[in-house]
Amino acid sequence: MDKIAIVGVAQTQYERRKKDETFYDLVYEVTSKALEDAGLALEDIDNVITVSNDFLDGRTISSMAVGEAAGAYDKNISTVEGDGTFGAFYGAMRVLGGFRSTLVVAHSKGSEGDIRCITNGMFDPIYQRCLGLEAVSASALQANAYMDRYGVTETDFARVSVKNHGNAKNNPFAQLPLDLTVDDVMGSQKIADPIKRLDCSPVSDGAAAVIIASEGMAKKARTKPVWIRGVAHCAEEYFLGDRDLADPKSLRAAAQKAFRMAGIERPLEQVDVVELYDAFSYMEPLWLEAMGFCDPGEGGTLIEKGVTTMAGKMPVNPSGGVLSAHALLVAGLARIAEAVLQLRGDAGARQVQGARTALAHGINGPCGQSHCVWILSGEK
Amino acid sequence: MPPSVEGFPREKPFCCGSRGEGKTSITLVEVRIMAAWLEGVEGLTLKGQIRVPYTWWVGEVGSRFLMALRDECKILGNRCKVCNTVYVPPRKNCGRCFVNIDAWVELGREGVVTAHTIVRFEYPLQPVKPPFAYAVIKLDGADVGLVHIVKKDLERLRNGVRVRAVFKEQRTGHILDIDSFQIV
């Protein structure tokens, strides 16, 4: 694969409700900031990928509404309706295809719509939507299947919430930096068993942007380039009942492909920091297992053993993760942006010292129906 | 109305900027007071709702499945002849093998719960008030799970329990012709 790099990143402050900004404003903000970060101008950007969702925005062809805000007035623009990691994947492919650079920008304002009704809409209308399924209850089925298969416990999940909300205190962009104990999480309001309030990510407003560049354009940017060493995605079956929810096979396939591209054979030793999509606390151990960082069923032990804490050998979600800020579609792109900051040495109080290789991850569809895995490196 | 600040004449235009001739200057204290006031001000919003009616063709295979629910209280699946997977709801083609499916299978009205959750929050699109449960049910004869509802005996709900479909008296050719599944 040709050498391509991420040379600019930007994120908004994630908030429950950004009351004085439209989603257009958020896209304009991160586009401007990403260009400023990279030290590039609009004429250095060859094409734009926007990431948005019609139901979230309340308008069809939602991408069109933000084209100009994304600097795409006279440029080739395309769109991905899915998590930002998938949008960035398309952006990377365009650079590999010959464009000098692609700006990828994702946005959502969860505060402006009804998230339960919106996520209900992703289910099949004839057989499942009328049951009232939505993102949280579907995820609860996955958490239940996972616990049942391996004996992972709610306490294991609670430790993830404690860790990640605690990590968020070091992230100026995070919405929910919190000092929690396992008892706080275990005693929080039950939503859909085993998921409790403090096991859930919030619903946020926000946007993020990254600029992906060819080797030549990376030289022009003023930042230390973060090289894309491996990237892959994979999807499972659509019908919830068709899938083995305790076995994220599409993540395993995507991670294996990405690691192979990056030449990584011993993930736990060779990856220094992970930013993964923990929409719910149970997802962190489940995704870590499927990525191959530990055996299936062992994900719950990684915090206990001090592997994935800030002081551990491979910190997971130093940013606080999705549990601490969840603008739908944006959150995966935010994982990439955070990984880039880590590899540049620009992560401030949340910096993992000496990080050279990072994994960033995003999901799309209920219970991680599809996954996108990125392997990034500070070294060419 | 913006707050009145001592020494800051209300009649003069409020403008930031250099202390040039003819311009009113403001202090940092005044900016902070204004910012605090703004925090409590609600910006203008526009409420709207998108109501789009749909009429979805349920498909040839869907029709047969839903008619069997309606007319016979029977649950049908179908089997891919290549991988032998029995699907419910039945499919027109197998997504894994990419071939058409034409072998119909009558499934039992009972099955085993393989995953479940007790829902404790309420929102308008639920068919029943919480607490109730969603369950993934492996019906006798099927290879994939059917997602449906369990309303009663929630304290007895475990993975591995057997459940039986309970049909509504009035059926219309809809997945909710099965009212719910009950623990056997």
In a domain, B55, yes or no: no
Nearest by CB to A127, from B42, B114, B175: name it. B175
Characterize A135-150 residue by residue with b for buried, 16 or more Cβ atoms within 10 angstroms of its Cβ, and e for exposed.
bbbbbbbbbbbbbbbb
Nearest by CB to B176, from A130, A133, A237: name it. A130
Task: Please list every residue in chain A whose beta carbon sits closer than 8 Å to the beta carbon of residue B75.
Answer: none
User: Are both B14 and B97 inside the same structural domain?
Assistant: no
In a domain, B94, yes or no: yes
Confidence of residue B3 (pLDDT cuts 50, 70, 90): low
Residue A120: closest C-alpha in chain B: B125
Residues 293-332 of chain A with CB under 8 A from chain B are: none
**Contact across the interface for A117 and B115, Cβ inside 8 Å:** no
Confidence of residue B34 (pLDDT cuts 50, 70, 90): confident
In angstroms, the separation between the Cα of residue A243 and the nearest Cα of chain B is: 8
In angstroms, the separation between the Cα of residue B4 and the nearest Cα of chain A is: 23
Could you list the pLDDT tens digit for every one of the 380 residues in chain A?
A: 899 999 999 999 999 999 989 999 999 999 999 999 999 999 999 999 999 999 999 999 999 899 999 999 999 999 999 999 999 999 999 999 999 999 999 999 999 999 999 999 999 999 999 999 999 999 999 999 999 999 999 999 999 999 999 999 999 999 999 999 999 999 999 999 999 999 999 999 999 999 999 999 999 999 999 999 999 999 999 999 999 999 999 999 999 999 999 999 999 999 999 999 999 999 999 999 999 999 999 999 999 999 999 999 999 999 999 999 999 999 999 999 999 999 999 999 999 999 999 999 999 999 999 999 999 999 99
B58 CB within 8 Å of a chain A CB: yes
> What share of chain B in percent tops pLDDT 90?
76
Report ipTM (2 d.p.).
0.95
Q: Specify the DSSP element, H or E, that contains A90.
A: helix A84-96
User: Are both B125 and B164 inside the same structural domain?
Assistant: yes
Torsion of CA A10, A88, A290, A369, to 10 degrees: 110
Task: Please list every residue in chain A whose beta carbon sits closer than 8 Å to the beta carbon of residue B116.
Answer: 141, 144
Count of A-B CB contacts under 8 Å: 102
Sheet holding B86-87, edge to edge: B86-87, B75-79, B103-107
Query: What's the pLDDT score for residue B2?
Result: 52
Query: What's the pLDDT score for residue B127?
Result: 96
In a domain, B53, yes or no: no
In angstroms, the separation between the Cα of residue B73 and the nearest Cα of chain A is: 16
B89 CB within 8 Å of a chain A CB: yes
Nearest by CB to B148, from A131, A145, A194: name it. A131
Phi/psi of residue A343, nearest 5 degrees: -75, -20
CA angle A7/A11/A14 to nearest 5° reads 165
Task: Please list every residue in chain A whose beta carbon sits closer than 8 Å to the beta carbon of residue B176.
Answer: 130-131
User: Are both B88 and B144 inside the same structural domain?
Assistant: yes
What is the distance between the alpha carbons of residues A226 and A375, in angstroms, rounded to a whole number? 10
Query: What's the pLDDT score for residue B40?
Result: 79
**Contact across the interface for A148 and B115, Cβ inside 8 Å:** yes
Domains in chain A with CATH codes: 4-114+204-220 (3.40.47.10), 131-202+229-377 (3.40.47.10)
What size, in residues, is chain B? Answer: 184
User: Are both B133 and B74 inside the same structural domain?
Assistant: yes
User: Are both B44 and B93 inside the same structural domain?
Assistant: no
Token readout for B73 is 């209280």
**Beta strand A47-51 pairing with A101-109:** parallel
**Contact across the interface for A144 and B159, Cβ inside 8 Å:** yes
User: Are both B77 and B20 inside the same structural domain?
Assistant: no
Confidence of residue B26 (pLDDT cuts 50, 70, 90): confident
CA angle A342/A343/A344 to nearest 5° reads 95
- C-alpha of A34 from chain center: 18
| Closest C-alpha to A239, from A132, A347, A126 | A126
Task: Evaluate the CA torsion angle A108, A113, A114, A118 in order and state its sign.
Answer: negative
Amino acid at site A344: R
Give every CB contact of residue A74 below 8 A, 6+ residues apart in sequence. Answer: none
Query: What's the pLDDT score for residue B19?
Result: 47
What is the distance between the alpha carbons of residues A168 and A13, in angstroms, rounded to a whole number? 12
pLDDT at B126 over 80: yes
Can the peptide bond before residue B131 be classed as cis, meaning omega within 30 degrees of 0?
Answer: yes
User: What DSSP letter does each residue of B85-101 carry, written as one string?
Assistant: PEESS--SEETTTTEE-
- For chain B, counts of helices (H) and of strands (E): 2, 10
Confidence of residue B13 (pLDDT cuts 50, 70, 90): very low
**Contact across the interface for A130 and B127, Cβ inside 8 Å:** yes
**Contact across the interface for B56 and A190, Cβ inside 8 Å:** no
User: Are both B94 and B41 inside the same structural domain?
Assistant: no
Confidence of residue B12 (pLDDT cuts 50, 70, 90): very low
Characterize A321-341 residue by residue with b for buried, 16 or more Cβ atoms within 10 angstroms of its Cβ, and e for exposed.
bbbbbbbbbbbbbbbbbbbbb
User: Are both B36 and B81 inside the same structural domain?
Assistant: no
> What is the overall mean pLDDT for chain B?
89
Torsion of CA A50, A54, A56, A58, to 10 degrees: 120
What is the distance between the alpha carbons of residues A278 and A288, in angstroms, rounded to a whole number? 10
Characterize A204-215 residue by residue with b for buried, 16 or more Cβ atoms within 10 angstroms of its Cβ, and e for exposed.
bbbbbbbbbbbe
User: Are both B35 and B75 inside the same structural domain?
Assistant: no
Give every CB contact of residue A144 below 8 A, 6+ residues apart in sequence. Answer: A193, A194, B115, B116, B117, B159
- The angle that helices A283-291 and A135-150 make with each other, rounded to 10 degrees, is 60
Residue pair B12/B24 in contact by the 8 Å Cβ criterion: yes
Residue pair A42/A209 in contact by the 8 Å Cβ criterion: no
- Picking from A233-247, B14-28, B152-166, which range would have the lowest pLDDT averaged per residue? B14-28
User: Are both B38 and B65 inside the same structural domain?
Assistant: no
**Contact across the interface for B119 and A125, Cβ inside 8 Å:** no
In a domain, B34, yes or no: yes
pLDDT at B66 over 50: yes
In angstroms, the separation between the Cα of residue B20 and the nearest Cα of chain A is: 31
Q: Which of A239, A244, A247, A282 to mutate to test the interface with B (most CBs of B within 10 A)?
A: A239
Domain enclosing residue B41, as ranges: 1-48
Task: Please list every residue in chain A whose beta carbon sits closer than 8 Å to the beta carbon of residue B64.
Answer: none
Token readout for A166 is 């605690």
Residue pair A343/A217 in contact by the 8 Å Cβ criterion: no
Confidence of residue B30 (pLDDT cuts 50, 70, 90): confident
Confidence of residue B11 (pLDDT cuts 50, 70, 90): very low
Token readout for A156 is 């294991």
Residues 184-203 of chain A with CB under 8 A from chain B are: 190-195
What is the distance between the alpha carbons of residues A53 and A108, in angstroms, rounded to a whole number? 8
Q: How many separate domains does chain B show?
A: 2
Residue pair A96/A215 in contact by the 8 Å Cβ criterion: no
Q: Is A6 strand, coil or helix?
A: strand
User: Are both B73 and B112 inside the same structural domain?
Assistant: yes
A22 CB within 8 Å of a chain B CB: no
pLDDT at B118 over 60: yes
Task: Please list every residue in chain B whose beta carbon sits closer than 8 Å to the beta carbon of residue A144.
Answer: 115-117, 159
In the Cβ-directed half-sphere of A33, how many Cα atoms lie within 13 Å?
17
**Contact across the interface for A136 and B121, Cβ inside 8 Å:** yes
Query: What's the pLDDT score for residue B8?
Result: 44
Nearest by CB to A141, from B43, B87, B136: name it. B136
| Closest C-alpha to A303, from A293, A315, A292, A291 | A315
Helix residue ranges per DSSP H, A174-293 = 182-186, 215-220, 249-262, 267-270, 283-291
pLDDT at B16 over 70: no
User: Are both B7 and B40 inside the same structural domain?
Assistant: yes
Nearest by CB to B58, from A19, A126, A132: name it. A126
- Tell me the per-residue pLDDT of B41-50, one tens digit each, with 9 for 90 and over: 888 899 999 9
In angstroms, the separation between the Cα of residue A281 and the nearest Cα of chain B is: 16
A151 CB within 8 Å of a chain B CB: no
pLDDT at B14 over 50: no
